[in-house]
């Protein structure tokens, strides 16, 4: 027993010393400092909301066509004896210019025959007038009071006068046909096509070619109901001095150069298109080959052009970047001080690639988030970053609960494409 105690006693003393030493060391060990939990926030790019004016506009497309275009046709038949050298595809013509002449020999003979008929009718009328005067004197000499009209030669005199009127009408008809052997341009313009040449026999009404006036061209621009409302145009629009038509800027590639022409809306079509449910707005450009041309480049018929229609101007609206618009009426706003995301419902007026235009729901100077955010929710932790005009990026670090200063701002220079941590 004494042997066992002699062995166990040292072991117990050693265990007691070890446990006591461990307790003492733990008591004397300094407590570790608590580190604040790192804040987790999504880095997003944002742009400031600003105030400005909204110029409402609508984009459309259409084909240029002349306002006046006709088929040139003779009113009489015959053989072509002359064709103007300007009467050719692409030729420029003037109002009153002779385009085509039909051989006039047959019609000149008809005029001579009609003149002969008129002379005969005049001679007959003169004879009947003299005979009627003699008959009147005879009746007076005989003292007859009830002489018949035939005895007075009244029917014969009326017939002679009618024959003269008919002969004069035939002469005018023959002269008119002779005048119509020459076909003149009814307006100044250009020739689209020519279908005849010298020596060809044509009939009345046969097409000799097509010409169009070059004083005005027009473009039919299809718009839907929303676009009509955006421009403030009624379905039956006609410009007045108080309410002129909206300005239209046409553009197209001509000769490898982007050309622009400025016209105006002059009317709307009479009815909607039953297939597209759109209505055509007619815009005009005056003097497309002269003052209306772009550095000598005309807006020629047949050209397909894009049209930018200027509407009304709405003053003092809030403008946010278009990329910040989520859905139809929501914006993501980043709050730099708190590092939180605020989802706002706004009163949207209009949006285009240049921005989203809002009446209310946001304030100038707030930061509209343009970066894509998945599963976004109100109050989400974010870090707002702003790209400055010089290409540097400013990062707004939110202040903690213990910070007394303002939001910390860090500016760093970057190159290449902007990135977003998600």
Residue-level pLDDT at 6: 61
What lies within 8 Å, CB to CB, of 221 at 6+ separation is 60, 61, 62, 248, 280, 281, 282, 283, 307, 309
What's the pTM?
0.65
Task: Extract the residue ranges of the chain whose pLDDT is less than 70.
Answer: 1-40, 400-422
Q: What share of the chain is helix, strand, coil (3-state, %, to 5)?
A: 25, 35, 40
Answer whether 265's CB lies under 8 Å from 240's CB: no
> Which CATH code is given to the segment(s) 57-66+215-314?
2.40.30.170
pLDDT attached to residue 330: 87
At the topology level, CATH places domain 77-103+181-214 in: OB fold (Dihydrolipoamide Acetyltransferase, E2P) (2.40.50)
- Whether the Cβ atoms of residue 242 and residue 73 lie closer than 8 Å to each other: no
- Judge: domain 43-50+317-412, CATH 2.60.40.420: no
The pLDDT of residue 231 is 85
The DSSP code for 398 is P
Paired strand residues for 318: 51, 358
What is the DSSP-derived secondary structure letter of residue 294?
Answer: B
Q: What is the domain partition of the chain in residue ranges?
A: 43-50+317-412, 57-66+215-314, 77-103+181-214, 105-178
Residues facing residue 140 across a β-bridge:
none
What is residue 299's predicted lDDT score, i.e. its pLDDT?
94
User: According to the model, what pLDDT value does residue 147 have?
Assistant: 75
- DSSP lists the bridge partners of residue 265 as 283
At 107, which helix (H) or strand (E)?
helix 105-142
Q: Could you tell me whether strands 382-387 and 42-48 are parallel, antiparallel, or unpaired per DSSP bridges?
A: parallel
The residue among 131, 126, 132 whose CA lies nearest residue 163 is 126
Per-residue pLDDT of 349-396, as tens digits, reads 878 777 888 888 888 888 889 888 888 888 888 888 888 888 888 888
* Terminal Cα-to-Cα distance of the chain (whole angstroms): 75
Confidence at residue 415, expressed as pLDDT on a 0 to 100 scale: 44
Name 149's Cβ contacts closer than 8 Å, sequence gap at least 6.
155
Equal fold, 43-50+317-412 vs 77-103+181-214: no
């Amino acid at each position: 027993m004494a042997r066992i105690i002699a062995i166990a006693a040292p072991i117990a003393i050693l265990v007691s010393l070890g446990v006591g030493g461990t307790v003492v060391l733990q008591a004397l060990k300094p407590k570790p400092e608590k580190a604040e939990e790192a804040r987790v926030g999504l880095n997003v790019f944002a742009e400031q909301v600003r105030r400005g004016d909204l110029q409402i506009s609508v984009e459309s497309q259409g084909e240029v066509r002349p306002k006046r275009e006709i088929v040139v046709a003779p009113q009489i038949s015959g053989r072509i004896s002359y064709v103007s050298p300007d009467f050719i595809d692409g030729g420029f013509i003037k109002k009153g210019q002779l385009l085509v002449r039909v051989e006039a020999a047959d019609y000149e003979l008809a005029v001579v025959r009609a003149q002969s008929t008129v002379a005969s009718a005049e001679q007959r009328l003169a004879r009947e007038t003299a005979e009627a005067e003699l008959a009147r004197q005879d009746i007076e000499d005989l003292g007859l009071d009830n002489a018949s009209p035939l005895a007075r030669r009244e029917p014969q005199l009326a017939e002679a006068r009618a024959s003269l009127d008919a002969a004069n009408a035939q002469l005018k008809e023959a002269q008119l046909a002779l005048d119509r052997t020459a076909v003149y341009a009814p307006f100044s313009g250009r020739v689209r096509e020519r279908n005849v040449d010298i020596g060809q026999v044509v009939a009345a009404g046969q097409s000799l070619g097509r010409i169009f006036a070059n004083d005005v061209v027009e473009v039919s621009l299809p718009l839907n109901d929303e676009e009509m409302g955006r421009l403030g145009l009624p379905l039956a629009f006609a410009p007045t001095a108080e309410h002129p038509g909206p300005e239209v800027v046409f553009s197209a590639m001509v000769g490898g150069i982007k050309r622009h022409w400025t016209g105006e809306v002059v009317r709307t079509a009479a009815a909607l298109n039953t297939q597209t449910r759109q209505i055509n707005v007619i815009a005009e450009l005056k003097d497309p080959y002269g003052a209306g041309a772009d550095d000598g480049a005309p807006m020629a018929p047949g050209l397909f052009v894009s049209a930018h229609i200027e509407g009304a101007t709405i003053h003092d609206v809030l403008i946010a970047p278009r990329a910040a618009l989520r859905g139809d009426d929501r914006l993501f706003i980043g709050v730099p001080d708190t590092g939180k995301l605020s989802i706002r419902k706004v009163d949207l007026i209009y949006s285009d690639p240049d921005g989203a235009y809002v009446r209310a729901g946001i304030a100038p100077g707030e930061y509209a988030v343009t970066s894509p955010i998945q599963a976004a929710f109100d109050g989400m932790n974010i870090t707002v970053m702003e790209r400055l005009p010089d290409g540097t990026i400013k990062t707004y670090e939110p202040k903690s609960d213990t910070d007394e200063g303002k939001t910390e701002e860090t500016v760093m220079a970057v190159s290449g494409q902007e990135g977003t941590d998600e």
